[in-house]
Amino acid sequence: MKVLADQIFSLKERILFETLQEEGIVFHLGNRVVHTLNQTGTGIVHLLDGHRNVRDVIRAFSMMFEQPEEVLRKDVEHFLSDLYERGWVDVKRTQ
């Protein structure tokens, strides 16, 4: 999936997300599988509130990790694409 700056990502209703220390725990209610996310993945998922577009997620993520947006952009876009391919997120475009 090509991730665009004006897309808005949010976790699907059947995906539960919790944080335990600095790792994220994802529980897929559909297949009852548990996944863990590292600190990077956890930080990105926290920003998927259904209101921020990809541009805003990258900006906020770069502030969290004190890294330039240009350095993090590809990683964030790749991670969002992976979440989409797994069926964990809904995507809409800003108007």
pLDDT in tens, 81-93: 999 999 999 999 8
What average pLDDT does range 59-66 have in this prediction? 94
Give me the pLDDT at residue 25, please: 95
CB 25 within 8 A of CB 33: no
Give me the pLDDT at residue 93, please: 85
pLDDT band at 95, cuts 50/70/90?
A: low
What average pLDDT does range 65-69 have in this prediction? 93
pLDDT in tens, 1-53: 899 999 999 999 999 999 988 889 999 998 999 999 999 999 999 999 999 99
Inter-CA distances, 92 with 9, 23, 50, 95, Å: 7, 27, 9, 9
- Measured from the Cβ of residue 70, the count of other Cβ atoms closer than 10 Å reads 9
